[in-house]
Structure 1
Amino acid sequence: MRALAGLILAASLLAGCAPKLPEGIDETRLTEGVGRAIGSGSTCVMMADAAGKVVWRAGGYITCSRNLPTCAGGEPVIAEVVLKDAVGKPARFASCPTGTGGVNTVGWAIGPVPTGEGKPARNLTYVAVMEGERALPGREIQERVERAFIRAGF
C-alpha cells in the first residue's frame, strides 16, 4: 500500500513538471485542428514558451527527430533546434528540396503563435514542418496551422 502511494505521488509530481499549454486552450481541439489542417506522418508541430521550453508537440515522432535542411543553408537540424532559435523572432516560412533528384521537399513555418481577436497574448512560438514527396510549401503550412491555432482558442 505504501509503495502504491509513493508511485502515485511520484506520478503527480512528474505530471506537475510536464510542459503545459496555457489555461483556456483545449489540447484535444488543438491536436485535432492541427491534424486536419496539416496532419500526416511527415508532419511535426511544436510550441515553446518565451524561455524556449517545449509546451506542446504533435505529429510524427520521426519527422520531429530527423535532421532536415532549414532551407537557409548550414547543416540540417531537428525541429526543436529550429523552434528554440525562433523564440522572439518574426515569422518566416521556407521550402526546399531535401535530397538529390528533387523528389522530396521540406516546408517550414516558424513564428509567434497568433493571438485571436479579444484573446490574451500567450508569448508562444511555434514550428511546423513537413517533409516528403507531398509536403506542403512553407507558406501554405503557415496559413493552415495558424488558422488551426486561432480555432483552438489562441
Structure 2
Amino acid sequence: MRAAAVLALLAATGLGLAACAPKLPAGVDGDRLTEAVGRAIGGPNTCVLVGDSKGRLVWRAGGYITCARQLPSCQGTTTTAQTVLEGAIGKPPRFASCPTGTGGANTVGWAMGPAPIADGRPDRRLTYVAVMEGERALPGREVQERVERAFEKAGL
C-alpha cells in the first residue's frame, strides 16, 4: 500500500511540475508544428528546440537523446542543442555546417535565432535551434530556410 501512495505522490508532483513548465504560446498547435517541422527537416538525427526569452524549453522535435548529443559546433568545440539555444537568445539568426568526424562522410548543419514572426502575429520572443547530423544532413543554411518556413506554416 505504501508503494502505491509513493507512486501517487510522484505522479501528482510530475503533473504539477508539467503544469508550471513553459508552453507554446496560445493559438499555436503543437501537433501542427510537429507535423510542419517533421515534413521540412524531420529525421532520426534531427533536433529542433524552441525556447522562451529566458532559454526555457517550450517545444522540442526530436528525441531527448538526439537533442542531448554532443556535436561539433563548427567553431572547434562540441556542444548540445540546449546550450546553443541558450546562447542564441537575443542574437541574430545564424547557421553553420561542418564535418562531424574524420573521413567527411557525416556532416552537421546548425540553424539558430529568433523564431520568425508570422504575418498578423505578435512577437512572442521565442528563439530556436535546429540541428541535423549524418550522411544526408542538410547544410545549415538549408536547415534555417526550411525550419523557418515550417514555423510560419504552423502559425508560430
Q: TM-score, normalised by structure 1?
A: 0.91
Counterpart Cα distance in 2 of 1:69 and 1:9:
39
CA change 1:78–1:5 in 2 (3 A) is closer
In the other structure, the counterpart of 2:66 is 63
In the other structure, the counterpart of 1:37 is 40
Cα deviation digits, residues 23-79 of structure 1 (max 9, x gap): 110000001110010000010000111111111111133321111111122x20111
Q: TM-score, normalised by structure 2?
A: 0.90
1:16 aligns with 2:19: yes
1:117 aligns with 2:119: yes
Contact 1:64 1:79 in 2 (8 A): yes
Cα deviation digits, residues 73-107 of structure 1 (max 9, x gap): 2x201110011011000000010000000000000
Structure 2, gaps ≥5 residues long: none
Counterpart Cα distance in 1 of 2:48 and 2:36:
12
Counterpart Cα distance in 1 of 2:8 and 2:132:
43
Counterpart Cα distance in 2 of 1:130 and 1:147:
16
In the other structure, the counterpart of 1:134 is 136
Contact 1:49 1:125 in 2 (8 A): yes
> Aligned residue pairs: how many?
153
Alignment of 1:25-104 (within 5 A): 25-73=28-76, 75-104=77-106
Q: Residue 9 of structure 1: CA displacement?
A: 4.8
Contact 1:94 1:108 in 2 (8 A): yes
Q: Residue 5 of structure 1: CA displacement?
A: 8.0
CA change 1:8–1:70 in 2 (3 A) is closer
Counterpart Cα distance in 1 of 2:127 and 2:78:
20
2:110 to 105, 108, 119: 108
SS in 2 for 1:103: coil
Identity across the alignment (%): 66
* Deviant stretches of 4+, over 4 Å: 2-9
Alpha-carbon RMSD:
2.0
Structure 1, gaps ≥5 residues long: none
